């Protein structure tokens, strides 16, 4: 899952070397939180107009997690 999020973000940004993902341990609801970090200049590319790209990233990640029977959340930091 971490690799999928990294690949998606690297395809969107100008500086793919600055992309990093941190993974939190599952919380009490068994939700795993993925924190996506990108360069400040690339933040707009990952979020998109009115958050459309960020929403699409979250949908793709949730769909992949459902196949593995996991609950996840993606936060863009």
**What CATH number should be reported for the domain holding residue 17?**
3.30.300.20
Instruction: List pLDDT tens digits, range 2-32.
Output: 999 999 999 999 999 999 999 999 989 999 9
Question: What's the pTM value of the predicted model, to 2 decimals?
Answer: 0.90
Beta pairing partners, 22: 35
Cβ–Cβ under 8 Å, residues 23 and 32: yes
Domain range enclosing 56:
2-76
Residue 12, H or E segment: helix 2-12
Q: Is the pLDDT of residue 77 over 90?
A: no
d(CA 54, CA 38): 13
In the chain, the number of structural domains is 1
Q: Is the pLDDT of residue 63 over 90?
A: yes
Count Cβ atoms within 10 A of the Cβ of residue 3 and give its class: 0-12 exposed, 13-18 middle, 19 or more buried: exposed
Query: What are the DSSP E strand ranges found in 2-41?
Result: 20-23, 31-37
């Amino acid at each position: 899952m971490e690799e999928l999020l990294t690949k998606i973000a690297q395809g969107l940004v100008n500086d793919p070397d600055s992309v990093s993902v941190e993974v939190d341990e599952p919380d009490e609801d068994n939700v795993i939180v993925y924190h996506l970090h990108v360069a400040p200049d690339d933040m707009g590319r990952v979020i998109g107009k009115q958050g459309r790209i960020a929403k699409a990233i979250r949908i793709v990640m949730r769909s992949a997690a459902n196949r593995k029977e996991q609950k996840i959340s993606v936060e863009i930091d």
